[in-house]
Structure 1
């Protein structure tokens, strides 16, 4: 727990999917994108602290000046705030807006004909990730980490549920041991992020999702690769059906 009040990303974030080395020549733009991904996907929530400047610059493979410029721009846009002192650092100030059907329709319009492609791509990536995670011999730390992400999600208040749901799915991606796969799943989640966040919160749907999440964790930890794939497929199909229902 961060002494300033939120989680400390140095201990909470396992790091493979988002804070990976910048790949393009547009270091400033991609650094802003990576930090926004971490915020919008729930890796970092309101009140959480970014990793220390020196550590984050190394992980992203950029200069500290580029990182400072990116943080300065995000501070001006209202996503983060920097504090000085013993418990200082850069903290997340962004809060996810409440679900809204108007936002859902706009997100669908933005995707256009790519919607079904995005859902299919997600299905292939995340079912494969669950299967691969189940096939691996996980350490006790990794097993505890997955249980922790499930527990945090099940205890989440409504306003934080969507972000912590994304964080749960990214945790499974991390456990595959493939940074490339984890990165693709992160990109897939961002492609659908606005759309998923805009789906209204239905208590029965959340209860059903929790049951599916428990089955996913149970099968992964039991080494049941086929069960992990099947339970993940059922979960993603249910989400897609709910989405199509609201759009219909």
Structure 2
């Protein structure tokens, strides 16, 4: 069970920069679970600690956890060894993503891709300029996990984790939070083609090229690979969207 690096986890549990409503807290944690950033069986911090990290009142956090329990995303155990634990909905992820894809128009997907490519390119450039070799240990582990993954759902989760780890390697808390936000909006959709082994292989090659460019401290090449990775994924995604529209 590979977990996020400490830098990426800090972004997941960073204080909310919006009004600290129950819905906002539940969405932040729920998105992290659905994306696989918080893994199945992982124990969340204690209520007082987690509320402090997120910058919300304990009562707000408790209501948010209650909403997540109702969604089946967390479970609470009492007694020794108890706490709140993640329950990752692996069996429903693909269905959720397919419905989300069909809700987008082609124009919206292209616009999202333009924004995401710009952010991903900036992250890659900064990572190439700032990351030391130890900063890339977590992305390299995720890189190998992605290459080895046979299940499309696992591929989707690992891909999201890899991109968040790369954002953390760029050493920008704001960009890491933006990467997580974009992952919830379009990142998981880009993983839908991973059921196809060819698409998985293409993504794997691009991941390796990206890590190679960052490791070689080549900002221009890293940015170019990152942008092409996003735009290429969206082209495949639009094909799926059009097929889904015709089928329905």
What's the TM-score bracket when you normalise by the shorter of the two chains? 0.7 to 0.9
Q: Is the 8 A contact 2:77 2:83 kept in 1?
A: yes
- Distance verdict in 2 for CA 1:203–1:109, change over 3 Å: closer
Question: How far apart are the structure 1 equivalents of 2:223 and 2:216?
Answer: 13
Query: 1:31-50 counterparts in 2 under 5 A?
Result: 31-50=25-44
Q: Of 228, 231, 234, which residue of structure 2 is paired with 1:234?
A: 228
Count of matched residue positions in the alignment of Structure 1 and Structure 2: 239
By how many angstroms is 1:92 displaced? 1.6
1:23-55, Cα deviation, whole Å (9 max, x unpaired): 233431211011012112211122222233333
By how many angstroms is 1:194 displaced? 5.5
Output the aligned Cα RMSD. Answer: 2.4
Query: What TM-score results when the alignment is normalised by the length of structure 1?
Result: 0.85
- Distance verdict in 2 for CA 1:98–1:27, change over 3 Å: closer
Counterpart for residue 219 of structure 2: 225
Question: How far apart are the structure 1 equivalents of 2:210 and 2:13?
Answer: 26
Counterpart for residue 59 of structure 2: 65
Q: Of 143, 147, 157, which residue of structure 2 is paired with 1:150?
A: 143
Q: For 2:38, what is the secondary structure of its paired residue?
A: coil
1:52-82, Cα deviation, whole Å (9 max, x unpaired): 3333222101122221221122112211111
Counterpart for residue 172 of structure 1: 166
Query: What TM-score results when the alignment is normalised by the length of structure 2?
Result: 0.85
Question: How far apart are the structure 1 equivalents of 2:127 and 2:75?
Answer: 36
Q: For 1:17, what is the secondary structure of its paired residue?
A: helix
By how many angstroms is 1:144 displaced? 1.5
Structure 1: tracts of 5 or more residues without a match: 1-5
Query: 1:81-230 counterparts in 2 under 5 A?
Result: 81-96=75-90, 97=92, 99=94, 104=98, 106-112=99-105, 113-138=107-132, 140-158=133-151, 159-193=153-187, 195-199=189-193, 201-230=195-224
Structure 2: tracts of 5 or more residues without a match: 243-248
Question: How far apart are the structure 2 equivalents of 1:136 and 1:91?
Answer: 34
Counterpart for residue 246 of structure 2: none
1:116-173, Cα deviation, whole Å (9 max, x unpaired): 11111111110111111001142x4312222122223223341311011011011111
Counterpart for residue 3 of structure 1: none
- Distance verdict in 2 for CA 1:209–1:228, change over 3 Å: same
Question: How far apart are the structure 2 equivalents of 1:208 and 1:36?
Answer: 29
